[in-house]
Every structure is written in C-alpha cells, then in structure tokens.
Amino acid sequence: MLLDQVFGPERLNQLHAMCNQFEPGCKNWPQPDWCVERDLPRYMFDNQGHEWEELKEFFNSAEFKHPIEQYLGVKLQRSVASFWADLTGFGTLGPHKEAGGSYMMQVYLTNTSHDYSGTTIYNESKQILVQLPYRDNFAWLFHGMKVMHGRHHDVPEGLTRFTLQVWFYEEI
C-alpha cells in the first residue's frame, strides 16, 4: 500500500524540525553501536522528548490507523517506531524479509526528492519489481515477513535520507 501525504502540515513541520536537528554525532541523533563497529553512516533519533511521545500516540490513534485498517481489513496495534538518517556510504541493503512482526510502514521525510532512493521491492527470485522514489511525506505499508524488500542503491551524495518506520501488529 502506497500512501502520499501521510501527515498534515502541522505534524509534517514537527517532523521536519526533528530532521533539522540532525548533525552527525549530535546528542539527539546518536550512531548505534552496530553502525560504529561497521563504519556505517546511520544515525538513530534518540526516541526521547514530548514530541516523540506525542508522535507515538498519534500512530496508535483511530485517526491514523482507521483508514489503514479499513484497507487491510484487520485491526492494528502500534508496536514500535524508529526514526533514522542514512548518509552516503551506508551502501545498499540486500533483498530481505523481516524476521518477525506484522505490518511495517516507512515514511520518507526530505526537502530533496530523489527518483530512486526509496525502498526497492523484489520478487521471490530477488529481481527488482519496483523502485520507490524518495520524496517527502510518502510512505509504503506492507507485511514485513511477506514482502521481499531492500535498497538497491546507496544514498546519493549530499542527501541525508530520513526514514520514519512504524510497526503495527494485528490485533487478535
């Protein structure tokens, strides 16, 4: 499921403000140990503060979930949200399926769109089916354990690739 204009102007401005705080090595965007060990330029938002808590509550609200639930025909419970920034040199991300979980949404946040820096969707033979663009306030939602996905290209020079990821579990 592709979603355009995921957030309204107020929430989008809030997210852009969080992105604007980013600088490699800054307090609110530390580099995970696994990235430091492998010299990968990925930085994770520290998931702290009032704005982040408000955002997580929004992801679990009926306002946000109801249209998705109607489309999928299931009831969803938000589980985890994370926010990261990748820089040139992170490299590609090979075709894979998630090891667990249910539905995952990735929302791109940027002031600089790029035709082929979104997620790559593959068939079961790991051949490219679709290359999503990387553009502001654009998302895709899918079942993480069922859809082969990755990133066929490195982050383009001069681009900071912000991705907000939200996991939803199906209520039983």
pLDDT digit string (tens) for 8-49? Answer: 999 999 999 999 999 998 899 999 999 999 999 999 999 788
CA dihedral over 168, 20, 6, 162, signed as positive or negative: negative
Per-residue pLDDT reduced to its tens digit, 80-101: 889 999 999 999 999 999 887 7
93 CB-side CA count, 13 A: 18
Per-residue pLDDT reduced to its tens digit, 136-161: 999 999 888 889 999 999 999 999 99
CA dihedral 89, 51, 109, 31 (to 10 degrees): 0
DSSP state of 155: P
At 172 the pLDDT is 73
The ranges assigned to domains in the chain are 2-170
CA dihedral over 73, 10, 8, 24, signed as positive or negative: negative
Report the predicted TM-score, pTM, of the whole model to 2 decimal places: 0.91
Residue 34 CB partners (closer than 8 Å, separation 6+): 40
DSSP state of 5: S
CATH 2.60.120.260 fits 2-170, yes or no: no
Distance, in Å, from the CA atom of 11 to the CA atom of 61, rounded to the nearest integer, reads: 14
Distance, in Å, from the CA atom of 101 to the CA atom of 132, rounded to the nearest integer, reads: 22
CA dihedral over 159, 82, 63, 97, signed as positive or negative: positive
Q: Would you call 124 exposed, middle or buried from its count of C-beta atoms within 10 A (0-12, 13-18, 19+)?
A: exposed
Please tell me the least confidently modeled range out of 45-54, 131-140, 157-166: 45-54
Per-residue pLDDT reduced to its tens digit, 55-70: 888 888 888 889 899 9
What is the overall mean pLDDT for the chain? 91
At 100 the pLDDT is 75
At 90 the pLDDT is 94
Whether residue 123 has pLDDT greater than 90: yes
Whether residue 109 has pLDDT greater than 90: yes
At 49 the pLDDT is 84
DSSP state of 134: B
Report the percent of the chain where pLDDT is more than 90: 66
Kindly report the backbone phi and psi dihedral angles of residue 32, in degrees, each rounded to the nearest multiple of 5, phi listed first: -60, 150
Whether residue 79 has pLDDT greater than 80: no
